[in-house]
Amino acid sequence: MANSRTFFHDRLVLLLLTINSFLLILITVSILFRLGDTAEGYIVQYRSNLGLDGYKVGGLNEILSFIPFAGIVYGFQLYLGMRMYHIRKRVTHIILLLTSLVLVLTLIVSYSLLGLR
């Protein structure tokens, strides 16, 4: 209990957790608001080596899978950060920063794929 208390009292950890929470909410809201009526499906993959056939169409589940992915990444960084905090504080900071990068990339990819329809 004392370890989690000191974990949540670190200012840099709180800042990074706040940024990551905001990114998680932003990913969820942006995906849900950009969904629309597409009878033919959503573009879920782009393979540049296939030329004109590089766009792969999928269903709604493939697009919505970005939301649980972001949630799993957020939960995993919280678990790892709390476990590593008492060993090395800087490792925790790096874990939280890398999670921010992964969440930003998730936001960019999901936004780009939803923009292609």
pLDDT tens figures, 36-82:
766 677 888 878 787 777 788 888 888 899 999 999 999 999 999 99
Q: How many CB atoms lie within 10 A of CB 57?
A: 13
The CB-side HSE value for 5 (13 A sphere, CA atoms) comes to 2
Map residue 56 onto helix, strand or coil: strand
DSSP 25-48: HHHHHHHHHH----TT-EEEEE-G
Question: pTM to 2 decimals?
Answer: 0.86
CA 6 to chain centre: 26
Query: pLDDT tens-digit profile of 76-102?
Result: 999 999 998 888 889 999 999 999 999
